[in-house]
């Protein structure tokens, strides 16, 4: 039986993970859960899975949860200390890292240091601190399994093949809700428009990142570290149907691809059970019902965020940290109605222009640069 901590249990990945756990109680046990503000859902999860420990965002929420569970035996913690305690719980042997954004870095790093295997859904951990994290993974001898559908597809397409035979990795992207929208109209889209993803059901921040193509930029950086591939060997193709989740092209001209119905339970389950597989309830793919699969290059003029990610990788080790933090600030500003959709990439680029890249020596370095970028981007946005 695999004992799990789920960081971000009330988010879309966390909820899907717990659906898999509930379907296979003989294989999984929940040791700890962490959440942000959704106490009602967390309360249901505690009742269903009886974790030893839960952690929430702050002390006020912890006190409120304690009032809701006066006779419960689950320990309740809060803040970063609570997240770390959950990530390093002695009985846990795998941590599902599903906290959205850079907030997932510290507890995920703590889990690795504690020798826990990682099912990684928090791409920002590798975007902001890729070399440091992969060095820690190697030093501690832990296993790191990708949960993002694209990286899971690459991981599966690499099985049984030699790294030196890889010509390139091809990440696919749906193109989001604005695939065919003109540059002029992109400046007029609403938050509701941007949250209307055509294929996937995701949280707000990730959905906006998908609409801007920044999500694909973050995935390119994540792939660089996960698979130890240089940026020039990682390509992106727009694939509106979201049936082929990603591909690996080999030097002999062969391409290995992983296909499936767009549903995150499949890559989550593969990360949890590798090298085995379990039923997930995902609708089987009926190839005969498909009208066709199309692929084309992304438009870097209308969607500049993807090229900012490639630039960040080339500029220096700290630049992806700056890019990611600025993106989180800009996306929050768009969601609150303070800036236009097209201002997101513009704010990120301005923050990057103000940064002098340097080598990252520690997680503390990452956190310092992350904070600098957040402050700088917030200042920049005042003039938008």
Domain locations along the chain? 2-146
Instruction: Assess whether pLDDT exceeds 70 at residue 202.
Output: no
Q: Average pLDDT, whole number, for the chain? A: 95
pLDDT value for 203: 75
Residue 116: C-alpha distances to residues 35, 140, 267, 323 (Å): 19, 9, 19, 28
User: Across the strands, what pairs with 257?
Assistant: 247
pLDDT value for 176: 84
Instruction: Assess whether pLDDT exceeds 90 at residue 35.
Output: yes
What percentage of the chain has pLDDT greater than the value 70? Answer: 98
Q: 50-69 pLDDT, tens per residue?
A: 999 999 999 999 999 999 98
Residue 109: C-alpha distances to residues 122, 132, 195 (Å): 11, 9, 30
Q: Return the structure tokens found at 38.
A: 């959704």
Question: What average pLDDT does this structure show over 207-228?
Answer: 95
Placement of tokens 């397409």 in the chain: 157
Instruction: Assess whether pLDDT exceeds 90 at residue 184.
Output: no
Cα of first residue to Cα of last residue in the chain, in angstroms, is 53
pLDDT value for 23: 97
pLDDT value for 96: 98
Distance, in Å, from the CA atom of 50 to the CA atom of 109, rounded to the nearest integer, reads 25
Q: In what order do the strands lie in the sheet with 255-259?
A: 234-238, 166-173, 244-250, 255-259
Distance, in Å, from the CA atom of 84 to the CA atom of 151, rounded to the nearest integer, reads 25
Q: 229-288 pLDDT, tens per residue?
A: 999 999 999 999 999 999 999 999 999 999 999 999 999 999 999 999 999 999 999 999
Question: What average pLDDT does this structure show over 201-207?
Answer: 78
pLDDT value for 177: 87
Q: Return the structure tokens found at 47.
A: 């009742």
Q: What phi and psi values does residue 341 have, to the nearest 5 degrees?
A: -55, -45
CATH 3.30.70.20 fits 2-146, yes or no: no
pLDDT value for 199: 63
Confidence band (pLDDT; 50, 70, 90) for 173?
A: very high
Asked if 208 and 195 count as a contact pair (C-beta separation under 8 A), the reply is yes
Instruction: Assess whether pLDDT exceeds 70 at residue 86.
Output: yes
154 or 207, which is more confident: 154
Distance, in Å, from the CA atom of 344 to the CA atom of 341, rounded to the nearest integer, reads 6
60 or 201, which is more confident: 60
Q: What is the DSSP string of 315-371?
A: H-TTHHHHHHHHHHHHHHHHHTTSS-TTHHHHHHHHHHHT-------SHHHHHHHHH
Instruction: Assess whether pLDDT exceeds 70 at residue 127.
Output: yes
Q: What phi and psi values does residue 121 have, to the nearest 5 degrees?
A: -105, -15
Q: 326-353 pLDDT, tens per residue?
A: 999 999 999 999 999 999 999 999 999 9
pLDDT value for 196: 82
Instruction: Assess whether pLDDT exceeds 90 at residue 73.
Output: no
Distance, in Å, from the CA atom of 334 to the CA atom of 344, rounded to the nearest integer, reads 7
Confidence band (pLDDT; 50, 70, 90) for 212?
A: very high
pLDDT value for 200: 59
Distance, in Å, from the CA atom of 309 to the CA atom of 127, rounded to the nearest integer, reads 10
pLDDT value for 193: 84
pLDDT value for 201: 60
Q: What phi and psi values does residue 247 have, to the nearest 5 degrees?
A: -140, 160
């Amino acid at each position: 039986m695999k004992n799990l901590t789920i960081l971000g249990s009330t988010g879309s990945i966390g909820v899907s993970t717990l659906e898999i756990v509930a379907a296979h109680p003989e294989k999984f046990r929940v040791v700890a859960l962490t959440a942000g503000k959704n106490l009602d859902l967390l309360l249901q999860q505690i009742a269903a899975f009886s974790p030893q420990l839960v952690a929430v965002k702050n002390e006020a929420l912890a006190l409120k949860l304690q009032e809701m569970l006066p006779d419960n035996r689950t320990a309740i913690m809060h803040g970063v200390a609570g997240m770390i305690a959950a990530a390093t719980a002695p009985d846990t042997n795998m941590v599902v890292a599903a906290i959205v954004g850079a907030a997932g870095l510290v507890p995920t790093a703590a889990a690795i240091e504690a020798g826990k295997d990682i099912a990684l859904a928090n791409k920002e951990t590798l975007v902001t601190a890729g070399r440091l994290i992969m060095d820690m993974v190697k030093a501690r001898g832990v296993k790191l399994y990708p949960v993002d559908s694209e990286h899971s597809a690459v991981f599966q397409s690499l099985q049984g093949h030699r790294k030196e035979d890889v010509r390139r990795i091809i990440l696919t992207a749906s193109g989001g809700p604005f695939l065919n929208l003109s540059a002029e109209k992109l400046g007029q889209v609403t938050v509701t428009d941007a949250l209307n993803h055509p294929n996937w059901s995701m949280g707000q921040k990730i959905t906006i990142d998908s609409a801007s193509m920044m999500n694909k930029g973050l995935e390119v950086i994540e792939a660089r570290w996960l698979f130890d591939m240089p940026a020039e060997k990682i390509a992106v193709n727009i694939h509106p149907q979201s049936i082929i989740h990603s591909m690996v092209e080999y030097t002999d001209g062969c391409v290995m691809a992983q296909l499936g119905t767009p549903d995150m339970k499949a890559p989550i389950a593969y990360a949890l059970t590798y090298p085995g597989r379990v039923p997930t309830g995902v609708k089987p793919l009926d190839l005969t019902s498909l009208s066709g699969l199309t692929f084309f290059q992304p438009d870097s003029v209308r969607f500049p965020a993807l090229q900012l990610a490639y630039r960040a990788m080339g500029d220096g080790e700290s630049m992806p940290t700056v890019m990611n933090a600025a993106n989180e600030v800009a996306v929050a500003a768009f969601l609150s109605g303070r800036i236009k959709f097209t201002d997101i990439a513009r704010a990120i680029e301005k923050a990057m222009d103000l940064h002098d890249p340097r080598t990252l020596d520690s997680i503390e370095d990452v956190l310092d640069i992350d904070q600098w970028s957040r402050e700088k981007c917030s200042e920049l946005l005042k003039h938008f």
